[in-house]
């Protein structure tokens, strides 16, 4: 028995990185997966790779900051599948800047994707999640919601919002048997972090600070997401799961 058999899943920003790894992991465990991304080629390629491995996936082009795209995304899922069991709000961007130089345009951009995008997808997806009678949402927060480095204050603020929203939503959606949890990854090797992971000096410093002495992989996060998405976590809601090799426990 696969852990996500008969489940319908949607992962935003799943064309690459952590989102792609989660979509792949879910499909491997039997879920039918919708891969939403800004980039059509990445969404298509990720879906094709899942299909080649024997899984079921559909590419969707959707910008989570665009209400029409989000409505169209859910319309497609409704017409093909009728309901949704698992929504992963993964799409996110990273902007590094000194706080005093963060102009309104930059702040709006990061808030639009990382926080308003999560709010929009969680709100607009409610009817389909409720229709499944066994739904769950997994939001991608970050250890930066609680532990800070310089120049990431705007990003950190959005992730603090994602953690807080997840707990608040867990309460609101519980009567409909929709669980809401969140992941707090540490330093994971993806496009988003390549400025650090590919820089030998910064990379060594980050690995030295990490008790398990390596960067995380997208699969490390995907395995945690699989647990939260599965019925093994049926009594877990409003919780954050940190996936960081121990970096957030150090001083």
Residues identified as active-site: 155
Kindly state whether residue 64 participates in binding ligand NAP, applying the rule CB under 6 A.
Answer: yes
Distance of CA 41 to the CA centre of its chain: 20
With CB under 6 A as the rule, give the number of residues binding ligand NAP.
29
Is 119 within 8 Å of 165 (Cβ atoms)? yes
Rounded CA separation 33/247 (Å): 31
Kindly state whether residue 190 participates in binding ligand NAP, applying the rule CB under 6 A.
Answer: yes
Q: Which C-beta is closer to ligand NAP: that of 12 or that of 237?
A: 12
Kindly state whether residue 18 participates in binding ligand NAP, applying the rule CB under 6 A.
Answer: yes
Residue 152's CB is within 10 A of a number of other CB atoms, namely 17
Kindly state whether residue 135 participates in binding ligand NAP, applying the rule CB under 6 A.
Answer: no
Is 70 within 8 Å of 96 (Cβ atoms)? no
Output the smallest distance, CB 16 to ligand NAP, in A. 4
Q: Which C-beta is closer to ligand NAP: that of 195 or that of 234?
A: 195
Is 140 within 8 Å of 25 (Cβ atoms)? no
Structure tokens at 173: 């959606």
Q: Which C-beta is closer to ligand NAP: that of 144 or that of 178?
A: 144
Kindly state whether residue 125 participates in binding ligand NAP, applying the rule CB under 6 A.
Answer: no
Output the smallest distance, CB 12 to ligand NAP, in A. 5
Kindly state whether residue 121 participates in binding ligand NAP, applying the rule CB under 6 A.
Answer: no
Kindly state whether residue 188 participates in binding ligand NAP, applying the rule CB under 6 A.
Answer: yes
Q: Which C-beta is closer to ligand NAP: that of 82 or that of 148?
A: 148
Could you tell me which stretch among 51-59, 189-197, 198-206, 224-232 binds ligand NAP (CB under 6 A)? Answer: 189-197
Among 17, 135, 161, 245, binds ligand NAP (CB under 6 A): 17
Angle in degrees, 0-180, between the axes of helices 218-229 and 17-28, rounded to the nearest 10 = 50
Rounded CA separation 148/135 (Å): 32
Instruction: Quote the radius of gyration of the chain (alpha carbons, Å).
Output: 17
> Across the chain, which distance is largest between two alpha carbons, in Å?
53
């Amino acid at each position: 028995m696969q852990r996500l058999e008969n489940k319908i899943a949607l992962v935003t920003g799943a064309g690459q990185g952590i989102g792609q790894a989660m979509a792949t992991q879910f499909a491997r465990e039997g879920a039918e997966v919708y891969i939403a991304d800004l980039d059509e080629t990445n969404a298509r390629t990720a879906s094709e790779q899942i299909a080649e491995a024997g899984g079921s996936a559909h590419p969707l082009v959707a910008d989570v900051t665009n209400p029409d795209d989000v409505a169209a995304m859910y319309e497609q899922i409704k017409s093909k599948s009728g309901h949704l069991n698992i929504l992963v709000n993964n799409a996110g961007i990273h902007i590094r800047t000194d706080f005093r130089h963060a102009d309104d345009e930059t702040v709006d951009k990061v808030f639009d994707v990382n926080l308003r995008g999560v709010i929009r997808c969680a709100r607009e997806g409610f009817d389909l999640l409720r229709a499944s009678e066994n739904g769950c949402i997994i939001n991608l927060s970050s250890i930066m919601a609680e532990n800070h480095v310089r120049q990431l204050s705007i990003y950190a603020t959005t992730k603090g919002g994602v953690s807080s929203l997840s707990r608040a939503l867990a309460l609101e959606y519980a009567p409909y048997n929709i669980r809401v949890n969140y992941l707090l990854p540490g330093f994971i090797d993806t496009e988003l972090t390549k400025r650090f992971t590919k820089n030998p000096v910064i990379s060594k410093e980050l690995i030295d600070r990490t008790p398990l002495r390596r960067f995380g992989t997208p699969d490390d996060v995907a395995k945690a997401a699989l647990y939260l998405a599965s019925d093994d976590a049926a009594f877990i809601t409003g919780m954050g799961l940190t996936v960081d090799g121990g970096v957030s426990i150090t001083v």
